[in-house]
Amino acid sequence: DTAVSQTPKYLVTQMGNDKSIKCEQNLGHDTMYWYKQDSKKFLKIMFSYNNKELIINETVPNRFSPKSPDKAHLNLHINSLELGDSAVYFCASSSTGSGYTFGSGTRLTVV
């Protein structure tokens, strides 16, 4: 009964590959997010979707493409992976009056 679940937990891939990370929430929240945590632990928002509509896109390279098939799912596809994409990617969800609930993260390593 995990609230926000991400898969995979770990992802190791070569430069130039394309990969996807999936996220699902069962909290009934309206809004979902992708955050990136870099090697210095700094967390920054990438995207936000509200009821399947993109509402925040924070100067992220267009190699990153989020997709929300319904309000319970938000996936992140990354094309042509680069070394600098190595990070931990967190999915989160929220609804009015609630705080954020974060997933456990996907550690992406590009070699």
Partner 1 sequence: AQSVTQPDIHITVSEGASLELRCNYSYGATPYLFWYVQSPGQGLQLLLKYFSGDTLVQGIKGFEAEFKRSQSSFNLRKPSVHWSDAAEYFCAVGAGSGGYNKLIFGAGTRLAVHP
Six token digits for residue 28: 């009934």
Q: Which residue lies nearer to partner 1 by CB, 1 or 14?
A: 1
Query: C-alpha distances in angstroms, 21 versus 86, 95, 96, 103, 107?
Result: 13, 22, 26, 12, 10
Is 51 a binding residue for partner 1 by CB under 8 A? The answer is no
Site for partner 1 in 52-111 (CB under 8 A): 55-56, 58, 90, 92, 94, 96-97, 99-105
Binding mask 6-45 for partner 1 (x = CB under 8 A): -------------------------x-x-x----xxxxxx
Q: Which residue lies nearer to partner 1 by CB, 15 or 55?
A: 55
Cα torsion at 36, 18, 51, 92 (round to 10°)? -30
Q: Which residues contact 2 (CB under 8 A, 6 or more apart)?
A: 26
Return the SS3 of 15: coil
Binding footprint of partner 1 on the chain (CB under 8 A): 31, 33, 35, 40-45, 48, 55-56, 58, 90, 92, 94, 96-97, 99-105
